[in-house]
Amino acid sequence: MDEKTMTKLSLLCSLTGLAAIYAAAMQVRPTMTPIASLDNQFVGLKVAVSGQVVDSYEHPDGHLFLKLRDDSGSVVSVPVFARVRAELGEPIEFLDVVQVTGEVKFYKGELEVIPERAGDLRVVHTAPIKLSSLSRERVDIPVKVQATIVEREIVGSGSMILTLQEDSSQLLVFVPAWIVENGLPEFHIGNVVRVDGWLQLFNGELELKLAAPSHLRVVEAA
């Protein structure tokens, strides 16, 4: 084998090796960073965090602002801008577990992890719990339920009370007036809905308090 052929083979092997290294690197995701460890030293760096959605706000322009909490008990903001959200192709709901890879930025006094594309987000949906499993021990704990609307009533200064039923169990859902005024999705008696919020006691009775319009979704029409 002449010197020219040897040179070509050596170059080809080098290029093949570099391609393999690049492909492997593209498959590597950053190690999970505990939210509690994030501080100003992380600003400008790319990290991966994972946590449960404990708060969310839907902007009129289509942006979704999440608060994620992990096992450390700490919370970080994750803005999912409209372009990224449109590419995601699936909803992100209250109490879902979300893994985010993004750049750490400092905005209005708090740290954020900002995903650049839909592939930077992985969502694991949490299943709704049975109404029959709810008890006073769950007061002040966020929950997600799915049941049929059997009654609706306007109370006070424009607030709404919904009665949900699943098998023989019922649960009241309190919808504050500001949510009613800002536009709930259209729903009717007999609709199966998924509702998430915080359990509270009112007049000694368990009820679920809705935190935002997007926390009520019609799953099945009557």
Residue by residue, pLDDT tens for the chain (222 residues) are 555 444 444 444 444 444 444 344 344 445 889 999 999 999 999 999 999 998 888 888 889 999 999 988 899 999 999 999 999 888 888 899 999 999 999 998 899 999 999 999 999 988 999 999 999 888 888 889 999 999 999 998 899 999 999 999 999 999 999 999 887 888 999 999 999 888 999 998 999 999 888 889 898 886
Contact 91, 56 (CB under 8 A): no
Q: What is the pLDDT of residue 198?
A: 87
Q: What token pair was written down for 135?
A: 């008890």
Give yes or no on whether 35-124 and 131-220 have one common fold. yes
- Cβ-count burial 77-107 (b if 16+ within 10 Å, e if not): bbbbbeebbeebeeebbbbbebbbbbbbeee
CATH superfamily ID and name for 35-124 = Nucleic acid-binding proteins (2.40.50.140)
What predicted TM-score, i.e. pTM, was given to this entire model? 0.69
Q: What is the pLDDT of residue 102?
A: 96
Strand 159-166 to 169-175 pairing: antiparallel
Q: What is the pLDDT of residue 58?
A: 84
- Would you say the C-alpha torsion 160, 167, 134, 219 has a positive or negative sign? negative
Q: What is the pLDDT of residue 12?
A: 42
Question: Is CATH 2.40.50.140 what the domain over 131-220 is classified as, yes or no?
Answer: yes
- C-alpha span between 170 and 77 (Å, rounded): 34
- C-alpha span between 41 and 140 (Å, rounded): 34
Domain boundaries along the sequence of the chain: 35-124, 131-220
